[in-house]
Amino acid sequence: MTYPSQNNPVAGYGWIKKGESYTIPSNTGRNRLNINGAFSIETMNSLVRYDKTINSHSTIELFKQIEAAHPKANDIYVICDNARYYRSTLIKDCLKGSTITLVFLPPYSPHLNLIERYWKFFKKKILYGIYYETLMTEKFQMIQSSSNIWNCRHYNNFHKLKKQMVKIYSI
C-alpha cells in the first residue's frame, strides 16, 4: 500500500525572551518547491519527487516510480485523497493495464492518510527552523535528509503507526 500526497509549507514558531528580538532569514515567496511523494507501509520506504507543479503528468511519473520500486508486485494499492488530478482521464488511461489500483479516502479525512503523518514528521525534522539560501540548496538538503530520515529515533514510531494502519486497512 502506498500513500501519495503533495506537501505544503508550514510556518514555524518559537519562544523569545521579552524585550528581545530575533531575525529569521527567509526567501521570497516567489519560488516554490513542490514535493510529491508516496510512502510504502510494507517496506517503510518513501519516494519523493520535486516537480514544478503537482498535476496529472507529475502524478503519472510518481506512479511509474512506485511501479519501478515494486517490480514483482501483482497489485499495488495507492491510498489517495480526492485531489482532482487523481480522477483525471489522463490518470485513468495511464492506470489501464497497470498494477496500481487507486483507493480514495473519504473527503476531508487527512487523519486516515499515512503520508500526511510522514509529511508532518518530514517538516518537523527536515524543514522546520532551517534557512536555505537558494531553492536548489533547499532541494539538495531535503533529498539528502529524506534519504536518511529513518536513521533517527522516530523509526519505531512509524512501526507503531504501521501496526495501526494494518488493522484499519486489513492488509
Domain count, the chain: 1
pLDDT digits (tens, 9 = 90+) for 41-59: 777 777 888 888 999 999 9
Q: Is residue 24 part of a domain?
A: no
> pTM for the whole thing?
0.69
Instruction: Give the domain range for residue 131.
Output: 32-169
Q: Is residue 17 part of a domain?
A: no
- Rounded-to-integer distance, Cα 126 and Cα 95, Å: 33
pLDDT for 9 equals: 53
Pairing of strands 100-104, 76-80: parallel
- Rounded-to-integer distance, Cα 3 and Cα 122, Å: 15
CATH of the domain at 89: 3.30.420.10
